[in-house]
């Protein structure tokens, strides 16, 4: 069966990585070798397997060869896996998070089967980010509450702490936190009442104020770090290899940038209508 070859071809993690790269955009062998940090002969051998499995196509360009993922190459495989998942017992609410993650993978395959031509990874990525975002928000809320704070207040303190000189203007805090002027003002008023920040007028322009951390706030942040009070996201990130963590950080940065571009494009489109 055709999908047997595809399964065998994608069973190797290096080949999967090469195929995923080609699924994003066509590339030459040398480029793939540089990006994957594999030797060029190793990349060529992996590409040969992917080519024989019908997952990629090639186009000669002089002495170079341009490879690309073949459109629809995974359709039969997705259909086969979708048939298997149809007979899989449904995941009941309340099961451990490991089962929830499996459920997302299964749901992604069903989604692709329901909407032919769609990449199941698009669904899987957005659903995992949504689930992980909820965990991160919950952990932030719990950590903040242990110190008598709201999650947004802890984020504000962290934003100031990570700035050279430990000082920001209210406008800079608005941009950093993505909050309205009124929301930032409310947070600052409460933190000032708790003795965690202090505000002072700029010597260059008295209309501008600077917000700085107090010694008490710095002590609070140090306590959180020393007692490992950060959430499961921090602990999970530390369990990744150094290379894996770097790759994840770069991928998330790129994905975040693409989201910002899409949001800007949609905002511009709305204004033009």
Q: Which of 118, 142, 166 is the last residue of a domain?
A: 142
Instruction: Please determine, for residue 120, whether its predicted confidence score (pLDDT) is greater than 60.
Output: yes
Q: Clarify whether residues 136 and 165 are in a common domain.
A: no
Q: Clarify whether residues 214 and 159 are in a common domain.
A: yes
Give domain status of residue 204, yes or no: yes
The fraction of the chain above a pLDDT of 90, given in percent, is 27
Assign residue 183 the CATH number of its domain: 1.10.10.10
Q: Clarify whether residues 8 and 65 are in a common domain.
A: yes
Q: Clarify whether residues 63 and 101 are in a common domain.
A: no
Looking at residue 67, its pLDDT comes to 92
Looking at residue 188, its pLDDT comes to 94
Please state, in angstroms and rounded to a whole number, the distance separating the CA atoms of residues 142 and 187.
Answer: 18
The fraction of the chain above a pLDDT of 70, given in percent, is 89
Q: Which of 48, 69, 90 is the last residue of a domain?
A: 69
Q: What angle (nearest 5°) sits at the alpha carbon of residue 52, between those of residues 48 and 56?
A: 75
Q: Clarify whether residues 20 and 47 are in a common domain.
A: yes
Instruction: Please determine, for residue 47, whether its predicted confidence score (pLDDT) is greater than 50.
Output: yes
Give domain status of residue 233, yes or no: no
Please state, in angstroms and rounded to a whole number, the distance separating the CA atoms of residues 93 and 99.
Answer: 10
Out of 69-73, 79-83, 241-245, pick the least confident: 79-83
Give domain status of residue 251, yes or no: yes
DSSP 136-199: HHHHHHHHHHTTT--HHHHHHHHHHHTSGGGEE-HHHHHHHHT--HHHHHHHHHHHHHTTSEEE
Instruction: Determine how β-strand 64-69 pairs with β-strand 167-168.
Output: unpaired
Number of Cβ atoms within 10 Å of the Cβ of 212: 15
Looking at residue 81, its pLDDT comes to 65
Please state, in angstroms and rounded to a whole number, the distance separating the CA atoms of residues 102 and 98.
Answer: 6
Please state, in angstroms and rounded to a whole number, the distance separating the CA atoms of residues 55 and 69.
Answer: 6
How many structural domains does the chain have? Answer: 4
Q: What angle (nearest 5°) sits at the alpha carbon of residue 232, between those of residues 258 and 187?
A: 70
Q: Clarify whether residues 138 and 83 are in a common domain.
A: yes
Q: Clarify whether residues 58 and 83 are in a common domain.
A: no
Domain that holds residue 247: 240-272
Give domain status of residue 265, yes or no: yes
pLDDT in tens, 127-169: 889 888 888 888 889 889 999 999 999 999 999 998 887 788 8
Q: How far is CA 3 from CA 16, 77, 107, 182, in A?
A: 15, 5, 20, 57
Instruction: Please determine, for residue 88, whether its predicted confidence score (pLDDT) is greater than 70.
Output: no
89: left (phi over 0), alpha (psi -120 to 50) or beta: beta
pLDDT band (50, 70, 90) for residue 98: very low
Give domain status of residue 116, yes or no: yes
| Contact (CB, 8 A) for 153 and 190 | yes
Q: Which of 122, 142, 162 is the last residue of a domain?
A: 142
Give domain status of residue 218, yes or no: yes
Q: Clarify whether residues 59 and 12 are in a common domain.
A: yes
Q: What angle (nearest 5°) sits at the alpha carbon of residue 172, between those of residues 174 and 234?
A: 75
């Amino acid at each position: 069966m055709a999908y047997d070859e595809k399964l065998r071809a994608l069973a190797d993690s290096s080949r999967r990585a090469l195929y995923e790269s080609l699924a994003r955009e066509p590339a030459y062998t040398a480029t793939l070798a540089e990006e994957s940090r594999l030797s060029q002969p190793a990349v060529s051998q992996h590409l040969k397997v992917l080519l024989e499995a019908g997952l990629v196509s090639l186009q000669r360009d002089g002495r170079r060869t341009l490879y690309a993922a073949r459109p629809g190459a995974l359709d039969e495989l997705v259909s086969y896996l979708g048939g298997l998942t149809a007979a899989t017992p449904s995941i009941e609410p309340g099961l451990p998070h490991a089962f929830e993650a499996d459920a997302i993978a299964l749901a992604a395959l069903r989604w692709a089967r329901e909407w032919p031509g769609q990449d199941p990874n698009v669904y899987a990525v957005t659903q995992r980010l949504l689930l992980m975002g909820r965990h991160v928000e919950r952990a932030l809320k719990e950590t903040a509450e242990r110190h008598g704070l709201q999650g947004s207040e802890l984020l504000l303190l962290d934003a100031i702490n990570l700035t050279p000189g430990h000082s920001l203007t209210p406008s800079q805090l608005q941009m950093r936190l993505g909050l309205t002027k009124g929301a930032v003002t409310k947070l600052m008023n409460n933190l000032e009442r708790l003795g965690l920040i202090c505000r002072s007028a700029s010597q260059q322009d008295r209309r501008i104020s600077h917000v700085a951390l107090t010694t008490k706030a710095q002590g609070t942040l140090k306590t959180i770090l020393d007692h490992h009070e950060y959430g499961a996201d921090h602990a999970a990130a530390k369990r990744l290899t150094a290379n894996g963590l770097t790759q994840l950080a770069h991928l998330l940065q790129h994905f975040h940038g693409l989201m910002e571009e899409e949001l800007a494009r949609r905002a511009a489109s709305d204004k033009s209508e």
